[in-house]
């Protein structure tokens, strides 16, 4: 897949339009953005292969043969409503054209371009299924340019990886690459669960406009998407459901030495854990899945996380943090692993026990500190340890995080424990900036292990930090939330609901834009309102719940819709199998053309064709015994049939 200049321009427009400034805060190094972007609009193809119950190039039992026969620039049409049981291997092909695998239905039965699929579409889709414990789709080394579109991929029982991209390749050039899932309904088993939706270990792998659900396991981590041995990923406009971590990068030892999962775009997704998974909830369904967090980076570089909604996270197998940036070197076997250059902006986090957990090191194993993290223009609401479990910590910073900037956020946490919690006395957090935020003081405010609240903790764990232009609400002398305990230039207005929001609504589902005339309107260090830019945040997340993300200008499909018309039985070649000739009936009222091709799709000129009164007759006497394709195009549709010559 080519790096898209157009995508980069779109991203630039997004930055400008929603008012995110480029540049640096004084004295601070901000994260690098991804260096490579993926274009995911439907690719053009000029050849077709049909797979169906009869009258097609391949029978439904021959999908693997169809994939083997496809050349770059081919669309493989699968029959509507049919189950294709894998695992199916994606082999390496010569050339860079795409092979599209999709359901053979009109585009108007699928979500439109830029719209997310949902389970209601399932009845009209072809289904690629995984056998118990196996995958539906797997890749061979260097497999590339496969595009799955308008299809269901599912587990029939518990599966480890419903889709498995990569197989322990040790050289980056051997990784599968350029594989996209667009408008795919991908799910684990409803009752038994499945460990992982997509093991995404390749290069330039994208999941867009899709629905991934029921990835859950008892006693082990499970994810909708996980990658640990690849680079350049795009996860945009999806519904993502996973019990362990909905999405995670890292978490296992990469087989490629010195590899960091890099150039990652995660935007406008709905991260969600159903409350039916929560023990004690009225909707609880009775299986205690292992619940951890909504999003985690354990091995990552140059990550853009923007415009997502993260929803429902509680204390279970972990302590209730929604977002984790915590490098893991796999017990020191990969000491190069770190988390760095992360931009987390314009996201909404709601209904969680705690917010962010950021660790600078993996114990004594790390050689590089977590570095250059920007948390900007985000909203957290209903952060409540009493309801969701855990300590109610908005931001936890451990063991030496360098160049962490927390700017213009609104954190609603009146019943929480801390708004910043620090530990790891051997590793100070260098170049920490915390400014222009609205946050609840909670029980202990900014707290450092062994150092108490406010300035002592700040000076010890964050030496030289910039900490100003913050509105610290719910503070009182008994919890250290007063002006005397913090640096100059911060504000202590009392209860959070009284600071001038449009509509606080008890901190759940409110409108947190500041009223005109609020004491904190236009008083940020940059002249903007303190807190998140709620207008820009609402714009960035406007399509997340509905599943609309305006990116592609092209139509839903680049295939003539007549090509996927299932009618046309009157055109079936006969006899089939045949010997020295084959006849194709046709109506004189239609314009019709006929081609005969070999298995590679190459036109065979040696087959002489004659037009007769009621059809076409092809002289096949010069052809060798074998299998051929006959392509019949009328003014209404295109049909392709497999024809066999016998001795």
The pLDDT, as a whole number, for residue 571 is: 64
pLDDT higher than 70, residue 639: no
pLDDT tens-digit map of 537-546: 999 999 999 9
For residue 534, the SS3 value is: helix
**Confidence grade of residue 372 (pLDDT, cut at 50, 70, 90):** very high
Confidence bin at 416 (pLDDT 50/70/90): confident
pLDDT reading at 388 higher than 90: yes
The per-residue pLDDT for 567 is 40
User: How many Å apart are CA 498 and CA 475, to the nearest integer?
Assistant: 13
Token pair of 267 as six digits:
């935007």
Cα-trace Rg, the chain: 28
pLDDT at residue 21 tops 60: no
Going from N- to C-terminal start, the domains of the chain cover 31-255+542-566, 270-307+309-540, 578-645
Per residue in 579-604, pLDDT (tens digit) is 888 888 876 666 677 878 876 667 78
Residue 121 scores a pLDDT above 50: yes
Question: If you search the block for the tokens 């890099």, which residue do you land on?
Answer: 262
CB 401 within 8 A of CB 449: no
DSSP codes of every residue in 467-525:
EES-EEES--GGGT-SGGGS-SS-B--SSGGGS-EEE-GGGSS-EEEEPTT-TTTT-ST
The rounded distance, in Å, linking the Cα atoms of 476 and 549 is 44
Encoded tokens for 460: 């010890």
Q: In this predicted structure, what is the pLDDT of residue 586?
A: 72
pLDDT tens column, 185-223: 999 999 999 999 999 999 999 999 999 999 999 999 999
Q: What is the pLDDT of residue 108?
A: 85
Which class is 578-645 in CATH? mainly beta
User: Which residues partner with 230 through β-bridges?
Assistant: none
Distances (CA, A) of 544 to 15, 120, 170, 249, 311: 18, 18, 37, 22, 12
- The correct answer on CATH 2.30.29 for the domain covering 31-255+542-566 is no
The per-residue pLDDT for 147 is 98
DSSP result, 46-89: -EEEEEESSSSSEEGGGHHHHHHH--TTEEEEE-TT-EEES-EE
Residues 6+ positions from 3 with CB-CB distance below 8 Å: 36, 37, 38, 39
Decide: pTM greater than 0.75. Answer: yes
With a pLDDT cut of 70, the percent of the chain lying above it is 90
Q: Cis omega before residue 575 (within 30°)?
A: yes
pLDDT at 523 over 80: yes
> In the structure, what pLDDT confidence band is assigned to residue 27 with cuts at 50, 70 and 90?
low
* Residue 457 vs residue 637, higher pLDDT: 457
| pLDDT tens profile 484-498 | 999 999 999 999 988
Predicted confidence (pLDDT) per residue in 394-414, tens digit: 999 999 999 999 999 999 988
pLDDT digits (tens, 9 = 90+) for 307-357: 999 999 999 999 999 999 999 999 999 999 999 999 999 999 999 999 999
> 532-568, pLDDT tens digit by residue?
999 999 999 999 999 998 888 655 665 555 544 444 4
Q: How confident is the model at residue 432 (pLDDT cuts 50, 70, 90)?
A: very high
The secondary structure of the chain in percent helix, strand, coil, rounded to multiples of 5, reads 10, 40, 50
Burial of 173 (0-12, 13-18, 19+ CB in 10 A): exposed
pLDDT in tens, 132-165: 999 999 999 999 999 999 999 999 999 999 999 9
**What is the rounded average pLDDT for all residues in the chain?**
90
């Amino acid at each position: 897949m080519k790096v898209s200049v157009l995508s980069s321009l779109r991203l630039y427009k997004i930055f400008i339009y929603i008012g995110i400034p480029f540049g640096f805060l004084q004295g601070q190094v901000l994260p690098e953005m991804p260096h490579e972007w993926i274009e995911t609009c439907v690719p053009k193809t000029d050849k077709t292969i049909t797979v169906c119950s009869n009258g097609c190039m391949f029978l439904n039992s021959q999908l693997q043969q169809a994939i083997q026969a496809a050349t770059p620039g081919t669309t493989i049409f699968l029959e509507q409503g049919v189950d294709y049981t894998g695992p199916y291997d994606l082999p390496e092909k010569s050339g860079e054209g795409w092979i599209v695998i999709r359901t053979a239905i009109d585009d108007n039965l699928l979500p439109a371009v830029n719209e997310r699929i949902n389970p209601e579409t399932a009845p009209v889709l072809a289904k690629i299924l995984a056998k118990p414990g196996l995958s539906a789709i797997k890749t061979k080394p260097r497999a590339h340019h496969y595009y799955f579109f308008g299809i269901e991929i599912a587990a029939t029982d518990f599966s480890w990886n419903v889709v498995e991209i990569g197989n322990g390749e040790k050289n980056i050039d051997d990784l599968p690459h350029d594989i996209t899932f667009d408008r795919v309904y991908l799910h684990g088993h409803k009752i038994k669960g499945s460990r992982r939706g997509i093991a995404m270990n390749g290069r330039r792998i994208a999941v867009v406009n899709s629905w991934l659900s029921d990835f859950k396991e008892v006693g082990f981590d499970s994810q909708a998407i996980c990658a640990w041995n690849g680079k350049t990923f795009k996860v945009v406009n999806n519904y993502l459901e996973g019990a362990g971590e909905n999405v995670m990068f890292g978490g296992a030892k990469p087989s490629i030495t010195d590899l960091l999962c890099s150039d990652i775009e995660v935007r406008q997704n709905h991260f969600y854990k159903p409350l039916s998974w929560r023990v004690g909830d009225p909707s609880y369904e009775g299986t205690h899945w292992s619940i951890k967090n909504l999003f985690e980076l354990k091995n990552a570089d140059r990550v853009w996380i923007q415009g997502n909604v993260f929803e429902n996270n509680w204390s279970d197998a972990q302590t209730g943090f929604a977002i984790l940036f915590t490098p893991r070197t796999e017990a020191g076997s990969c000491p190069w692993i770190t988390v760095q250059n992360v931009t987390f902006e314009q996201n909404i986090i709601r209904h969680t026990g705690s917010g962010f957990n950021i660790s600078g090191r993996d114990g004594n194993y790390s050689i590089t500190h977590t570095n250059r993290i920007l948390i900007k223009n985000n909203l957290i609401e209903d952060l409540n340890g009493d309801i969701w479990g855990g300590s109610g910590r908005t931001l936890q910073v451990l063991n030496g995080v360098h160049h962490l900037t927390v700017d213009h956020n609104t954190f609603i946490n009146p019943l929480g424990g801390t708004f910043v919690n620090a530990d790891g006395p051997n590793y100070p957090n260098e170049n920490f900036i915390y400014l222009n935020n609205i946050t609840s003081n909670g029980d202990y405010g900014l707290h450092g292990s062994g150092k108490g609240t406010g300035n002592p903790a700040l000076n010890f764990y964050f030496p030289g930090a910039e900490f100003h232009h913050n509105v610290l609400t719910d503070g009182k002398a008994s919890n250290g939330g007063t002006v005397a305990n913090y640096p100059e230039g911060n504000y202590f207005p009392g209860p959070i609901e009284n600071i001038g929001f449009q509509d606080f609504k008890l901190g759940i589902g409110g409108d947190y834009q500041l009223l005109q005339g609020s004491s904190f309107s236009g008083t940020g260090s940059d002249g903007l309102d303190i807190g998140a830019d709620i207008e820009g945040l609402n714009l960035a997340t406007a399509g997340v719940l509905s599943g609309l993300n305006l990116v592609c200008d092209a139509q839903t499909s680049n295939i003539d819709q007549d090509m996927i018309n299932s009618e046309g039985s009157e055109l079936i070649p006969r006899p089939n199998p045949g010997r020295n000739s084959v006849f194709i009936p046709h109506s004189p009222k239609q314009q019709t053309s006929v081609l005969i091709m070999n298995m590679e799709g190459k036109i065979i000129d040696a087959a002489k064709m004659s037009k007769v009164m009621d059809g076409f007759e092809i002289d096949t006497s010069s052809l060798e015994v074998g299998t051929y394709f006959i392509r019949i195009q009328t003014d209404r549709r295109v049909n392709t049939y497999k024809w066999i010559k016998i001795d």
